[in-house]
């Protein structure tokens, strides 16, 4: 398999970690979706990463779709329970974590614009999304039912990648204040080999 994406993308990292956890062998192709010479649109018409080229050359894109495809392969360990409703709860938390990452990415891109062109409304709206998302994730992490339970699942991985991105980009430096369950979850996840091997480059 071939995974196309950027080392700094939380969505690409999510897929890399899933494949490492499941022991799936893959080739990583580093490709920025923002470069004028980017080849990403050849794999995803929306020009977003990640994209996955399967062994049969079928192309899958969108991290949630790729995660579902990888789960359908049946490689152990399973990252979703057999119970459909429990699995749906976990998928919703995955999408919530991805949404927080999306909001953080909007902030990062906005802050790359010249200061006089930056929109305070855009920055504020996305910071509020992040805070609300983190509050709900903290509540779920504290409950230890669909997130932060004994067995690592898809939601845990998505949350870990999201927190890693917040730390990497320093989007919300004080995200950990009054969120002890998320802090504990992040500390546990970051000790795993799959997370250590996919840490974004410092420069």
Domains of the chain: 2-72 (3.40.30.10), 84-192 (1.20.1050.10)
Can you state the percent helix, strand and coil of the chain, rounding each to 5? 55, 5, 35
For 48, the 3-state DSSP assignment is: coil
Per-residue pLDDT reduced to its tens digit, 60-115: 999 999 999 999 999 999 999 999 999 999 999 999 999 999 999 999 999 999 99
Mean per-residue pLDDT over the chain, rounded: 96
Q: How confident is the model at residue 32, as a pLDDT? A: 87
Using pLDDT thresholds of 50, 70 and 90, give the confidence band for residue 34.
confident
- DSSP at 168: H
Q: How confident is the model at residue 135, as a pLDDT? A: 98
Give CA–CA dist 174/167, Å, rounded.
10
Closest-CA residue to 80 (of 26, 15, 147): 147
Per-residue pLDDT reduced to its tens digit, 102-160: 999 999 999 999 999 999 999 999 999 999 999 999 999 999 999 999 999 999 999 99
Angle at the Cα of 122 from the Cα atoms of 121 and 123, rounded to 5 degrees = 90
DSSP E strands in the chain: the ranges are 2-5, 27-30, 51-53, 59-61
């Amino acid at each position: 398999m071939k995974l196309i994406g950027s080392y700094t993308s939380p969505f690409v990292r999510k897929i890399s970690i899933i494949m490492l956890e499941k022991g799936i062998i893959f080739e990583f192709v580093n490709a920025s979706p923002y470069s004028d010479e980017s080849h990403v649109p050849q794999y995803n018409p929306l020009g977003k990463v990640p994209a996955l080229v399967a062994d049969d050359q079928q192309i899958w894109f969108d991290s949630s779709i790729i995660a579902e495809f990888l789960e359908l392969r049946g490689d152990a360990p399973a990252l979703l329970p057999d119970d459909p409703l429990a699995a749906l709860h976990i998928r919703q938390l995955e999408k919530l974590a991805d949404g927080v990452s999306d909001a953080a990415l909007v902030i990062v891109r906005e802050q790359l614009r010249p200061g006089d062109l930056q929109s305070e409304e855009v920055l504020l709206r996305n910071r509020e999304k992040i805070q609300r998302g983190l509050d709900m994730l903290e509540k779920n992490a504290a409950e230890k039912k669909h997130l932060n339970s004994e067995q690592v699942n898809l939601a845990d991985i998505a949350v870990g990648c999201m927190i890693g991105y917040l730390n990497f980009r320093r989007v919300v430096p004080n995200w950990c204040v009054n969120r002890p369950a998320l802090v504990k979850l992040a500390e546990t996840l970051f000790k795993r080999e799959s997370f250590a091997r996919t840490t974004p480059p410092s420069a």
